[in-house]
Chain A
Amino acid sequence: MTAAATDVGTAMAAAIPAVSAHGVTKSFGHVRALRGASFEAFPGQVTALVGDNGAGKSTLIKVLAGVIPPDEGEVRVDGEPVHFTDPLDAKRRGIETVYQDLALVPDLDAAANVFLGRELRRMRFLHDHAEMRRRTRNAFVELGVGLVQDMRVPVASFSGGQKQGVAIARSAMWASRVIIMDEPTAALGVIQTAKVLELIERIRDKGLAVIFIAHNLPQVLQVADRIEVLRLGRRVARFGRGEADVDRLIAAISGAYTNDEPT
């Protein structure tokens, strides 16, 4: 466990969040998905974002990732207000997202996926696949993604956990500040889930802010350094490691418990 991980959620005033949302609202027609939501994720910590279906978790992280602009409120990166107009803006600030559907290209190999859109080039228009493959292999070794012998096959032939590994490794390679993962373990079995959680911890230990959405509360309690609870588009509770248990989380998710003043 890192030093940062021992901090508690309510005593974060000193540290500056890698990314944060302040009083963000977002409506889709009549649906008010976010109603003054705030959120903070700190470097070197796994911040879990939990909440009931429809609480606004995915909407919130899309705002942080530059996919959708907020109606009101502010997103800050390292404490500075930013206005993302598209996901590339967020990527330029070192914020990468592992989407629920992974967004891999099934017919290309792992290296081509990892470098898609950011290919290493030779003579300006050719791609340097050998070098991309080498760097991908190194990144996989460093992160503990065991695909080293499968570097040539298209990712379509990978298992669900392996694909998840490629998607996370891709984000980890490019993220310099924040990695957002929307339910990265939802479709995985026990063993593969354990490996993904371990991967998340490794990325956290590299000093990145990891944002992790999950419905599996024991999993959240195991991996998260901080937990923020979203309910009806607003943050209702936040916990440091060891401050919450399953019962209290469920109480917060369902509205029976709160420790966060609406901002």
Chain B
Amino acid sequence: MSTAMAPEPVDNGGDARTRRSIARAVLANPTMVTFGALAVIILAFSALAPGLFTQGSNFVQLAQNVAILTVVSVGTTFVIITAGVDLSIPSGIVLGQVFAVQALKLLPLGEGTTAFDATANQTTALSVLVAVTAALLGGLIIGLINGVVVAYLRVPPLLATLGTLGAGLGVALILQDGVNSATYALDPVGNGALIAGIPNLIPIALVVVIAGFVLLHLSVFGRHTYAIGSNPEAARRVGINVERHLLKVYVLGGVASGLAGFLSLSYFSTTSIGGFSTANLQAITAVALGGTSLFGGVGSIIGTLIGVWIPAVLKNGFIITGVQPYWQDVAVGFVLIAAVWFDQLRRRSRDRG
């Protein structure tokens, strides 16, 4: 009478129970399931195209391809864990690009030219710094507006960020007079390799992933992010400033988009005002594939990382094995539905009251 609060099934001990509970823990962990799916896909393609698919260079290429999506997906993981969503990612990216370009144009380089006109071998640390700061600022502004509108004006995030999606792209078009501009000033960032053989985008994305991991899983900020997504009222009653925290989360998402804008400008050497229109849906897909719940309160950075890779690996595998790559869209669509369905099942079985 004096020990247990609630009568749990008596522990009959033994390995069988442990093994069963490990199996249950694995199945209950959506990240493990997605990781299993990714492993199966990689193994299947490796068998279908021995040598080709598993080449190191192929994986480096893939990692570079997913780097920009990885950056925005890390940001959007936080947003979705608060039970929110950020559709404005494309405008954050494009504003990041445009702000960077405009800032480079303000930085004189002598003889009437600016850092914007620099060739790849004229790149300076200062111009990179100016461009990255401006890009982050562009994303920050979008994130700030999202956060204020969602947290304080209580507009549902779907519509709030749909609004800033349109508005942000509009502002980018105004600033650019409707045309893209090309610059090679950031080329060494986007196409160089400080670590031999590994293009810069990869370590940059990796740093973002690690920072996101520490912030989400190890910091008090991350803990409060989960709490707010899971039960905002409970968070409020223990004294967490829910509105201010939500604002910070949307700012984080915006800043990640701005950084992605800087990276894409460096990589493609041009703004691409119409080029990232589905980045929001890709990021949401990646996050959901990774087991982060759209209902909030559950999710992980590792899951998101896996979720980013699944569509990329599928597409790459289809190309290498000679299947029409459009099958990627079909496959990802169904995998996504399965992942979300799985999340629902897990929730229902978990909430036993």
**Which residues of A line the B interface, CB within 8 A?**
87-88, 91, 99, 101, 103-108, 112, 116-119, 121, 125-127, 144-147, 149-150, 154, 156-162, 164-165, 191-192, 194-196, 198-199
- Rounded to whole angstroms, the CA-CA distance of A154 and B226 in the bound complex is 12
Selected from B218, B220, B229, B239, the residue in CB contact (under 8 A) with A91 is B239
Q: How far is the CB of A239 from chain B (nearest CB, A)?
A: 27
- Rounded to whole angstroms, the CA-CA distance of A217 and B5 in the bound complex is 22
- Tally of contacts, chain A with chain B, CB under 8 A: 106
What are 15 residue pairs bridging A and B, where the CB atoms are less than 8 Å apart in the complex?
A: A103-B233, A105-B297, A107-B226, A112-B226, A116-B234, A119-B220, A125-B221, A126-B219, A144-B2, A144-B3, A146-B3, A156-B350, A159-B353, A191-B7, A196-B5
Is A126 a contact partner of B220 (Cβ separation < 8 A)? Answer: yes
The 8 closest A-B pairs by CB, nearest first: A146-B4, A117-B238, A107-B297, A165-B5, A107-B230, A161-B6, A103-B234, A162-B6
Q: Which residues of B contact A116 (CB under 8 A)?
A: 223, 227, 234-235, 238, 240
**Closest chain A residue to B293 by CB distance?**
A107
Is B231 a contact partner of A103 (Cβ separation < 8 A)? Answer: yes
Q: How far is the CB of B8 from chain A (nearest CB, A)?
A: 7
A112-B223 CB under 8 A given contacts A117-B239, A145-B5, A162-B5 = yes
Q: Kindly state whether residue B137 has any CB partner on chain A within 8 Å.
A: no
Q: Which residues of B contact A91 (CB under 8 A)?
A: 239
Q: How far is the CB of A43 from chain B (nearest CB, A)?
A: 24
Interface string of B118-131 (1 = CB under 8 A from A): 00000000000000
Is B6 a contact partner of A192 (Cβ separation < 8 A)? Answer: yes
Selected from A108, A145, A147, the residue in CB contact (under 8 A) with B223 is A108
Q: How far is the CB of A150 from chain B (nearest CB, A)?
A: 8
**Which residues of B line the A interface, CB within 8 A?**
1-8, 11, 214, 218-221, 223-224, 226-227, 229-231, 233-235, 237-240, 297-298, 350-353
Is A198 a contact partner of B223 (Cβ separation < 8 A)? Answer: no
Q: Which residues of B contact A101 (CB under 8 A)?
A: 233
Is B237 a contact partner of A103 (Cβ separation < 8 A)? Answer: yes
Selected from A105, A126, A162, A198, the residue in CB contact (under 8 A) with B227 is A105
Selected from A106, A112, A125, A160, the residue in CB contact (under 8 A) with B219 is A125
Q: How far is the CB of B237 from chain A (nearest CB, A)?
A: 5
Q: Which residues of B contact A199 (CB under 8 A)?
A: 5
Q: Which residues of A contact B234 (CB under 8 A)?
A: 103-105, 116
Is A160 a contact partner of B235 (Cβ separation < 8 A)? Answer: no
Selected from A145, A157, A161, the residue in CB contact (under 8 A) with B352 is A157
Q: How far is the CB of B5 from chain A (nearest CB, A)?
A: 4
- Rounded to whole angstroms, the CA-CA distance of A243 and B227 in the bound complex is 45
Selected from A105, A156, A159, the residue in CB contact (under 8 A) with B226 is A105
**Closest chain B residue to A174 by CB distance?**
B238
**Closest chain B residue to A147 by CB distance?**
B5
- Rounded to whole angstroms, the CA-CA distance of A165 and B234 in the bound complex is 16
Selected from B1, B4, B8, B229, the residue in CB contact (under 8 A) with A107 is B229
New A-B contacts (4) at CB < 8 Å, excluding given A116-B240, A147-B5: A127-B219, A144-B5, A162-B6, A196-B5
Is A117 a contact partner of B351 (Cβ separation < 8 A)? Answer: no
Q: Which residues of B contact A145 (CB under 8 A)?
A: 5
A118-B238 CB under 8 A given contacts A127-B220, A146-B6, A195-B6 = yes
Q: Which residues of B contact A117 (CB under 8 A)?
A: 224, 235, 238-240
Q: Which residues of B contact A112 (CB under 8 A)?
A: 223, 226-227
Is B5 a contact partner of A108 (Cβ separation < 8 A)? Answer: no
Selected from B1, B219, B226, B239, the residue in CB contact (under 8 A) with A194 is B1
Q: Which residues of B contact A99 (CB under 8 A)?
A: 237
Q: Which residues of B contact A121 (CB under 8 A)?
A: 220
Is A87 a contact partner of B239 (Cβ separation < 8 A)? Answer: yes
**Closest chain A residue to B214 by CB distance?**
A126
Is B5 a contact partner of A161 (Cβ separation < 8 A)? Answer: yes
Q: Which residues of A contact B221 (CB under 8 A)?
A: 125
Q: How far is the CB of A132 from chain B (nearest CB, A)?
A: 10
Is B231 a contact partner of A104 (Cβ separation < 8 A)? Answer: yes
Q: Which residues of A contact B219 (CB under 8 A)?
A: 125-127
Q: Which residues of B contact A127 (CB under 8 A)?
A: 218-220, 223
Q: Which residues of A contact B1 (CB under 8 A)?
A: 194-195, 198
Q: Which residues of A contact B231 (CB under 8 A)?
A: 103-106
Most chain B C-beta atoms within 10 Å of own C-beta, residue among A88, A106, A107, A162:
A107
Most chain B C-beta atoms within 10 Å of own C-beta, residue among A117, A145, A156, A164:
A117
Is A108 a contact partner of B220 (Cβ separation < 8 A)? Answer: no
Q: Which residues of B contact A147 (CB under 8 A)?
A: 5
Is A146 a contact partner of B5 (Cβ separation < 8 A)? Answer: yes
- Rounded to whole angstroms, the CA-CA distance of A88 and B236 in the bound complex is 10
**Closest chain B residue to A141 by CB distance?**
B3
Q: How far is the CB of B171 from chain A (nearest CB, A)?
A: 33
- Rounded to whole angstroms, the CA-CA distance of A88 and B2 in the bound complex is 32
Q: How far is the CB of A191 from chain B (nearest CB, A)?
A: 6
Most chain A C-beta atoms within 10 Å of own C-beta, residue among B5, B234, B297:
B5
- Rounded to whole angstroms, the CA-CA distance of A196 and B226 in the bound complex is 28
Q: How far is the CB of A1 from chain B (nearest CB, A)?
A: 17
- Rounded to whole angstroms, the CA-CA distance of A144 and B6 in the bound complex is 10
